[in-house]
Amino acid sequence: MDFRDAMRGECNYKCTIYHCILAIDLAIKYGWYIPSKFDVTEYQTLEKIENGDMNWIVPGKFLAFATPIDSGKTNDYYSHNPEFFIPVFKKLGIKHVIRLNKKEYDSSKFIKAGINHTDLYFLDGTPPPDVD
């Protein structure tokens, strides 16, 4: 069975174990994944939904995380507000947030904390649009 992200609707891409193995090989090649330096405890802590559902895409460069929501709760799962993420991002050295989905939080909270913010919206689970 192909991999399925945590989204509703029909999966429109193919991702198998083979693709995952190729990705790990590429990550090792580029130095994005060094097995001897991988901190399992940090990974398991950051990736929990109650801790922000954070995963490094490229260590020290790109971090994916659950959408902050000003109200704190949506769609029957818990989400954090920007104030939760700000000290975590400062500790991790995050200097820029790019919002890829609909506006659920006030971006000025990140900006006031010295974290740049950009909106680049596209539908969840789809690739970004082509740039002319």
Residue pLDDT, tens place only, 76-126: 566 788 999 999 999 999 999 998 888 889 999 999 999 999 998 877 667
| pLDDT value for 123 | 75
**What is the pTM for the complete model shown?**
0.72
105 CB burial (10 A radius; 0-12, 13-18, 19+): buried
Give the domains, in start order, of the chain with CATH numbers.
1-38 (no CATH), 39-132 (3.90.190.10)
CA 117, CA 107: separation in Å to the nearest integer? 7
Query: How far apart, in whole angstroms, are the C-alpha atoms of residue 85 and residue 31?
Result: 26
Closest CA to 90 of 111, 115, 112: 115
pLDDT band at 65 (very low <50, low <70, confident <90, very high): confident
In this prediction, residue 27 has a pLDDT band, given cuts at 50, 70 and 90, of very high
Q: What percent of the chain has pLDDT over 70?
A: 83
